[in-house]
Amino acid sequence: MIDLLPIPALLTPQQCVHWCDALDDATAAPAAVLDPAYGGRVAPQIRRVARLQPPAALQSQAMQLLGALQPQLQAYFGQALGRCEPAQFLRYEVGDFFVAHQDGNTPLLRDASLSRRVSLVLLLNDASLTAQEGCYGGGELVFHPHYSSAAAPSRHTPAAGSLLAFRAETTHEVLPVTHGRRYSIAGWFHAAEPA
Ligand X SMILES: O=C(O)CCC(=O)C(=O)O
Where does this chain bind Fe ion (CB under 5 A)?
103
**Helix (H) and strand (E) counts for the chain?**
3, 15
SS3 147: coil
CB 163 within 8 A of CB 84: no
Residues that bind ligand X in the complex, under the rule CB under 6 A: 90, 98, 103, 121, 141, 172, 174, 184, 186
SS3 191: strand
CB of 103 to ligand X, least distance (A): 5
Best CA proximity match to 18, nearest among 161, 164, 162, 170: 161
Q: Which does 144 bind (CB under 5 to 8 A by kind): Fe ion, ligand X, none?
A: none
Nearer residue to ligand X within complex by CB, 33 or 192: 33
Q: Which residue is nearest to Fe ion (CB)?
A: 103
List beta partners, residue 136: 127, 180
Q: Which does 121 bind (CB under 5 to 8 A by kind): Fe ion, ligand X, none?
A: ligand X
Nearer residue to ligand X within complex by CB, 45 or 195: 45
A 10 A CB-CB count for 98 gives 21
CB of 100 to Fe ion, least distance (A): 9
The helix (H) or strand (E) run that includes residue 121 is: strand 116-123
CB of 171 to Fe ion, least distance (A): 9
CB of 195 to ligand X, least distance (A): 29
Nearer residue to ligand X within complex by CB, 106 or 194: 106
Nearer residue to Fe ion within complex by CB, 42 or 131: 42
DSSP 93: -
